[in-house]
Amino acid sequence: MPRQRSQPRVARFFKEAEEISPRHVSDKVSYMPWGADDQMPYDIINLIESDETLSTCQMFNAEVCYGSGLVYQTDEMCKRKVVNEVEEFFLDNDMASYFLGVCQDFKHFGFAVSVIILNEQGNKVVRVLRKEACYVCFAPANKEGVIPQVLYANWRNSVRAEQVEAIPLLNPQSPWTDLQAQVKKGKRKFAVVSRVPTPDSTYYPIPYYASLFKGKWYNIKQLIGVAKEAKLKNSAPIKYHIEIAKSFWSNIFKAEGITDRVKQQERINEEKDNIINFLTGMENSGKVLFSEFYVSPNGKELHDVVINKIETDKEGGDCFANVGCGYYRGGKHDVLYHACTLKSRGVCAGQIANEQFGQRQARTLYDCTSPAKAVSRPFV
């Protein structure tokens, strides 16, 4: 059964005030929960997906991290056998999806988990897979402070022991030495964790954009959208006020010989639709309405139909032009995803965006400028 969850507490994301203890899946398997309710990664995803600006920002960061994709280089000194083995490896592994998925995990959660599978002899990597970070939990560290394994399962719901995949984790401090030792024990499948260095040392890294949820701009932007929607639904301005004399309908009924009350009401609705169609639509722009009127004995003009246009001034000031600037903490300037208006940026908005894009690419940790062979298609 799905777990019952309350609304995520935005201000307390990534850190919990209460002590978090290991949870047990079985007598032999335990893990460290990700957040007090063990739902923090899914709450984070929900918050990101709930904001079109932030979700686009995160996708942009992942694409910049991806760059031109993974590349490899086999020079003339390589034997033909080695070249064939390298090309066969990349044909048998979807490195494009793997690498972009890893970039997504880095930008969303600050770490990524890969699984390597060796051949029977234990001397060659034959498969490289990605384990989505949101479905990975770490086992409690041993006495030496080393995490022995990761647990892969759908932690959104309550899981049973047989639904959890336990994968030995190579020691991040000395993965090569640990790999050699594990291979001698007959193991061929391992997890490798890559973490973005952060100031705080926790089981699950605190991403750089955590300040976005701890601040006020995320909530303010959400409230602006709610307020604007409510205003559009509940306070739509009336453009025309149409006055119709009672005698107008009587004259129509008399002229057309309509005596049945049902047909009279249908004729009234039809005439109202005609008036509305006359006033609305681009094709009706510039049309003129003629109507008859007479003057009563007391000098008052009596019209059959009077159309009054109601003037509605543009209020403005409901959207903040600089609200997107708060999302610069996501590593992407607001001009790159049009979070600010062109008016506030002037005529040089395109040039600014181009310069910002170049700077953002230059800041990436991955160098894809080498004249090597591309093994994965560009996603950008």
DSSP string, 174-200: SHHHHHHHHHHTT--EEEEEEE---SS
Show pLDDT as tens, one digit a residue, over the chain (380 residues): 444 444 444 444 555 556 778 888 888 889 999 888 888 899 899 988 888 888 888 888 888 888 878 877 777 777 888 888 888 888 889 988 999 999 999 999 999 999 999 999 998 999 999 999 999 999 999 988 899 999 999 998 888 888 999 999 999 889 999 999 999 999 999 999 999 888 877 788 888 888 888 778 888 888 888 888 887 777 666 677 888 887 888 888 888 999 999 999 999 899 888 888 877 766 666 666 666 666 666 766 666 677 777 666 555 444 444 444 444 445 555 545 444 444 444 444 556 666 666 655 555 544 444 444 544 444 43
CA distance 304 to 370: 81
Q: Write down the pLDDT at residue 73.
A: 76
Residues in the chain: 380
**Other C-beta atoms lying within 10 Å of the C-beta of residue 316:** 6
Residue 44 vs residues 59, 260, 375: alpha-carbon distances, Å: 15, 64, 32
Let me know: does 166 contact 189? Beta carbons within 8 Å. Answer: no
Q: Write down the pLDDT at residue 292.
A: 64
Query: Which residue carries 């894009």 as its tokens?
Result: 357
